[in-house]
Amino acid sequence: MRRPAVTLHDVARASGVSISTASNALAGRGRVAPETRDRVVATAERLEFRPNALARSFVTGRSYTVGILAEHAPGTFSMPVLIGANSALSLSDLASLTYDAQNDPTLRREYLLRMRTRRVDGVIVVGQGPDVVYPSISHSFPVPVVYAYAHSEDPRDTSYQPDNVMAGRLATEHLIATGRTRIAHITAGSTLSAVRDRVSGMSAALAESDLTPAGAPLHGTWRRAWGAEAADRLLASGIEFDAVFAGNDDIAHGVRARLEASGRRIPDDVALVGVDNFNRLTRMEDRSLTTIDLNLPQVGAAAAEHVLAAIAGTAESGSFSVPPTVVPGRSTLGDIVPDDPPND
C-alpha cells in the first residue's frame, strides 16, 4: 500500500510555521527570516516532501510538461537523443509527450496541435542530424522551442548538435598520440556536413602536428561494404599508411576485414578508429574497436536543459554543439585494453 504523500501542510506543521510561510520559504519568495527558511527546507528534506505537480500546475498555469516531436523516433540516432531528453526533463520533474511524426506533414501538424492544446511549457524537436533542415515551428508556440540533433530553417532558432569537427580532431589526435603519422581517411559522401566537418577536424589536427594525410579522403557511403572496397583501393594505391580514420564504425569493420585478409595486423601495422560507438550502447562490452562517441544522449539532455533554462528566462538562443568522447579500444591500443568479458 502506498504511503500518503507528504503535503505542504505537513511540512508547515512540522516546522511550526503557517502554510503560506512554508510555501514562501520553499519557493524562495516573500519575506522569510533566513533561519526560518533553513528550518522549513530541512524539514521538507527530512519528510521527503515533493510539491504536488497538479496543485502546482493549477497555481502557476504551467503544465510541467514538455512536448518532444521526433521525425523518426525509432531511428538509431534519434533514440539516444530522445532518451537523453526524456531523462533530463524527468530529473527536473517535467513530464514529456513524445510524438513520432514519421516524416509525415499531416501527422506533424496533428502533433503540434496536440502539444498546443496540452499547453506544453516547451518543445524539443528531435531531427535527423545536421543535413536535414527542419521547417521552423517556433512561431507556432508561445513557449521555448529547441532543435536537438536538428536545426531549423530559421537561424534565430536554438539548436544542439554533436560536434563533428571535434570528432575528426579527437580521432586524429588519438592516432597521433599513439604514434601514427600516416593517417588515411575512409568516409561517406563529401556533400554531407558530418563528413565535411570530420574531415576538417582531421585536417586541423594533422596540420598542428605538421603532418599531411595519407592520400585524399576516400568518399563513398556509410556502409561496411564501402569500407572494404576503399581499403582495397588504399592497398592498391601504394600509398603508405599506418592508420585509418573511418567515418563510422560500419566502415571501420569493413576496413578491418579487408586489411586483415591482406595480412595487415591491427593495430600493429595499421591502427583503426571509427565513429558512433554502437557497441558501447549495448551492455556487452566490446572494446575491439577504438571509436568516437558522439554522446547523443547528452545532445538530447542539453536541449532539454536549454528548454528548462528558457522557461526560467535564463537562456540565450544560439547554435550549440556537444563535445564527443574518445572510447579507446584494441584497434589502436592493442592488448593494453582488456579482453571483452564473456557475455553468454
For a copy of itself, the closer of residues 205 and 252 by Cβ is: 252
Q: Which residues contact 145 (CB under 8 A, 6 or more apart)?
A: 122, 123, 124, 125, 137, 138, 157, 158
For a copy of itself, the closer of residues 65 and 242 by Cβ is: 65
For a copy of itself, the closer of residues 223 and 233 by Cβ is: 223
For a copy of itself, the closer of residues 16 and 189 by Cβ is: 189
CB of 121 to a copy of itself, least distance (A): 11
Number of Cα atoms under 13 Å in the Cβ half of residue 310: 22
CB of 269 to a copy of itself, least distance (A): 20
SS (H, E, C) 293-307: ECCHHHHHHHHHHHH
Tell me how far apart the alpha carbons of residues 258 and 254 are, in angstroms, rounded to a whole number.
6
For a copy of itself, the closer of residues 314 and 343 by Cβ is: 343
Phi (first) and psi of residue 70, to 5 degrees: -100, 150
The answer to whether 77 touches 128, Cβ cutoff 8 Å, is: yes
CB of 288 to a copy of itself, least distance (A): 8
CB of 341 to a copy of itself, least distance (A): 10
Q: Which residues contact 184 (CB under 8 A, 6 or more apart)?
A: 213, 214, 215, 218, 234, 239, 241, 243, 244, 245
CB of 65 to a copy of itself, least distance (A): 5
For a copy of itself, the closer of residues 78 and 172 by Cβ is: 78
CB of 320 to a copy of itself, least distance (A): 21
Grid cell for residue 63: 503544465
CB of 113 to a copy of itself, least distance (A): 6
Helices marked H in the chain — which ranges?
A: 8-15, 19-27, 34-46, 53-60, 78-91, 105-117, 164-177, 193-208, 224-237, 249-261, 278-281, 296-311, 330-333
Tell me how far apart the alpha carbons of residues 171 and 246 are, in angstroms, rounded to a whole number.
9
Nearest-10 Cα torsion for 258, 263, 266, 271:
-70
For a copy of itself, the closer of residues 282 and 314 by Cβ is: 282
